[in-house]
Amino acid sequence: MTGTLPAAWISGADGDLIRADAIVILRLDRTGRLTAQLRDEAKVSVTLLEGAPGGGHPPADFHRELARMIVEAAASGSTQLISARRVDGAWRWVSEPL
């Protein structure tokens, strides 16, 4: 998302917005917590999705689905906001124009 490409932003668990091109590592742990390590000297990590204690874990490839959604958002031609939502009992990434 550099140059003339539109930006993709991701909604974090605490409401922060993270620019997708600042992410260098996505981690999904066994509790369902998804974190993103940002590209900076301090190696800051941001929680994108908290683990769900009630068994509502996202799928094992949820971080890969986010990577796909970022590419699709960049190709959309407009700036997009991506967020994790639980729809009909399943976790999904959704995007909307920003």
| Residue 96 within a domain | no
Task: Tally helices (H) and strands (E) across the chain.
Answer: 1, 7
| Residue 45 within a domain | yes
pLDDT in tens, 32-52: 889 999 988 778 899 998 876
pLDDT at 2 over 50: no
pLDDT in tens, 54-69: 657 888 899 999 999 9
| CA 88 to centroid of chain Cα atoms | 20
| Residue 30 within a domain | yes
pLDDT at 96 over 60: yes
Q: What percent of the chain has pLDDT over 90?
A: 43
| Residue 97 within a domain | no
What is the number of structural domains in the chain?
A: 1
Rounded to an integer, what distance in angstroms lies between the CA atom of residue 77 and that of residue 73? 8
| Residue 72 within a domain | yes
Please report the pLDDT score of residue 95 as a whole number. Answer: 92
Please report the pLDDT score of residue 55 as a whole number. Answer: 57
| Residue 27 within a domain | yes
Domain that holds residue 69: 8-88
